[in-house]
Structure formats: C-alpha cells, structure tokens
Amino acid sequence: MQRDQLADFLRHRREGIRPAEVGIPDGPRRRTTGLRREEVAMLAGMSVDYVVRLEQGRSSQPSTQLLGALARALRLSDDERAYLFHLAGHRPPPADGVARLARAGLVRMLDLLGDTPALVLSDLGEVLAQNRAAVLLTGDHTGLSGDRRYLVHRWFTEPATRAVHPPEEHEHQARQLVADLRAAAGRRSGDPTVAGLVDRLRAVSADFRRLWAEHEVAVRRADRKTLLHPRVGRLLMDCETLMTPDQGQQLLVLTPADAEARERLELLLVLGVEEFPSGATGPPAR
C-alpha cells in the first residue's frame, strides 16, 4: 500500500469533480470548486473520519469493497480505478462483463438523469449502480451477493421477486430474462461464470429448464412493463436499454408510459425512501 501516493491521488480526484457532476447543487458559501470530504463520504457510504484518514495517509489498508465505493463516488475511469487499487495494494478488478463496478461514464449519466429512474447493469443482470429515483421505484439491489446478484436467478428461485409485476406479465418477463441470458452465453462462450449460472438454474428450476430448452435468443433494448409499488400502486413504465460497445454493461432508463404513471412517480419522489419497505425484494424492471 502506497499511503502517500494514495492520499495525494484521492485529494486530487476529489478536488477535480464539480458538485453538479454528482448531483450536488453549488451553494453560495462553497469555497472550493471540488467536492468536500463529507460529500465524498456520503456518496461512498463511509465515515467522514475514514475519508480524512485516507487523504492524510494514516488509514489502514482499505478493502476492495471500500475502494469500489470510492471509485464510484469519485467517478473514476477504468484506468483510474485500476490505479487506485494498485496504490492501495490490491489487484484491480477485471475490466470485463463480470466487473462489479459500473463504468464511470454510465454513472455520470445516472446523475444527469436526475428524477428519471435509471440503473447500470452487467450483461448478466447484476445491478452495479442506481440513482435515487430507481432505488425509490424498485429498491436497492446493489448490495446482493452470490447468485442473488443476478435478476434471472432471483426470478426463478425466489417467488417474492415476481410480485413487482402483475401475474399476466410473468411469462413474458421470464421469457425475456432467459432469452437475454442465452444471448450473453453466446457472446461469452466458455465463460465459467455464465455456464455455472445456467447449470445451477437448470438444477433448481423446472420453469427455467422449460424456457432454456426453447433456445430463444434476444437482447432486450426496449420494453414496456407494469410495476406494482407497495405505496403508489401500478406504474406503466417504458424501459429503454443502452448498451456499451462491448455489451458488457448497460444503462436501463425507465420513463412513465402514461399520465397516471407520471403522477405516481412524482408522488413517489416526494414521499422519499420510507415508501419502500425494509427487505423488499422487487427486481429492476429490465
């Protein structure tokens, strides 16, 4: 761990980010053009004291989870993220489709979308980042581990996951998830991550086995879904998916499909985080 270099790098990156880039308004009393330490701490989900100790070169070695949170908070590029991990004495995470850090450009787009729900997902359906509106709409899905990280696995193994959609849409949603997984399996032929996920799903779900055997292949780029929210009710949402050039990550944007959905989403944004019960398991509407 190169403490002094790490401290200097973190200070320079913090000072180089404009508050507006991360959704923080410029106030009249702000003395710096960059972020404050407490703002970095808030964005990264860690204590201000730890951010201070990191920037002063007197912290313990940060974990890879903390480094990932800092990389997202500071909007680091792939190269900057790798450099951050090197300075902290860790091997950088892979920069491929199974990387668990959202690309910096996609995270910036989340900030710019503001009150429009949006998520960054891996090509296997793992939520890598969400903006506030998406968390309010579908719950926070960034802290899941193991196979639960993947929406397709939760859909076929956890019945409560399907409750976010009305029953008449379940078959359509299931088919789309399986077709999307087949497309990923084709792109990443021989990848043990994909093959293992498919094998485990085939072992535990007859419904998955039935759909997998039909060999439907389709990358979803646009769709319309009905979401059932516990506080504001039904929302008809249009879902638009934008892919990175290598199709390793995707930006999912959800917009109200009618006036009623728009009004209910606006109400949800006013209600805030309390409207989504603790432990809710609804999936993102891919």
Cα 243 to its chain centre, rounded Å, is: 14
Position 234 scores a pLDDT of 94
Is the pLDDT confidence value at 11 over 60? yes
Bigger pLDDT: 77 vs 184: 184
Q: What average pLDDT does the segment 64-93 reach?
A: 82
For residue 129 the two structure tokens come to 């980042």
Bigger pLDDT: 76 vs 131: 131
Q: What average pLDDT does the segment 214-226 reach?
A: 86
Q: What CATH number matches the domain at 109-275, 1.20.120.80, 3.30.450.180, 3.40.35.10, 3.10.20.600? A: 3.30.450.180
Is the pLDDT confidence value at 188 over 60? yes
- pLDDT tens across 97-147, in order? 344 577 778 888 888 898 999 999 988 889 988 998 999 998 888 878 788
Position 79 scores a pLDDT of 75
Q: Which fold has domain 3-87?
A: 434 Repressor (Amino-terminal Domain) (1.10.260)
Is the pLDDT confidence value at 218 over 90? no
C-alpha distances (whole Å) from 255 to each of 139, 188, 192, 237, 272 are 16, 31, 35, 5, 18
Position 204 scores a pLDDT of 95
Q: What average pLDDT does the segment 202-224 reach?
A: 90
One fold for 3-87 and 109-275: no
Please report which helix (H) or strand (E) contains residue 206, including its range. Answer: helix 206-212
Q: What average pLDDT does the segment 173-178 reach?
A: 93
What is the residue extent of each domain of the chain?
A: 3-87, 109-275
Q: How far apart are CA 77 and CA 208, in angstroms?
A: 37
Position 93 scores a pLDDT of 65
Position 189 scores a pLDDT of 77
Residue/partner pairs of 81-86 with CB below 8 Å, 24 or more apart: 83/9, 84/6, 84/9
Position 120 scores a pLDDT of 92
Least confident among 68-72, 195-199, 228-232: 68-72
Is the pLDDT confidence value at 277 over 70? no
Is the pLDDT confidence value at 156 over 80? yes
Bigger pLDDT: 207 vs 44: 207
Angle at 145 between CA 153 and CA 215, to 5 degrees: 20
Residue/partner pairs of 92-96 with CB below 8 Å, 24 or more apart: 93/64, 93/68, 96/248
Position 275 scores a pLDDT of 41
Bigger pLDDT: 172 vs 246: 172
Position 83 scores a pLDDT of 86
Mean of pLDDT over the chain: 84
Least confident among 108-112, 172-176, 228-232: 108-112
Residue 6: closest CA among 69, 80, 75: 80
Residue 65: closest CA among 42, 85, 49: 85
Residue 138: closest CA among 2, 1, 273, 3: 273
Q: Residue 80: exposed, middle, or buried by beta-carbon count in 10 A (0-12, 13-18, 19+)?
A: middle
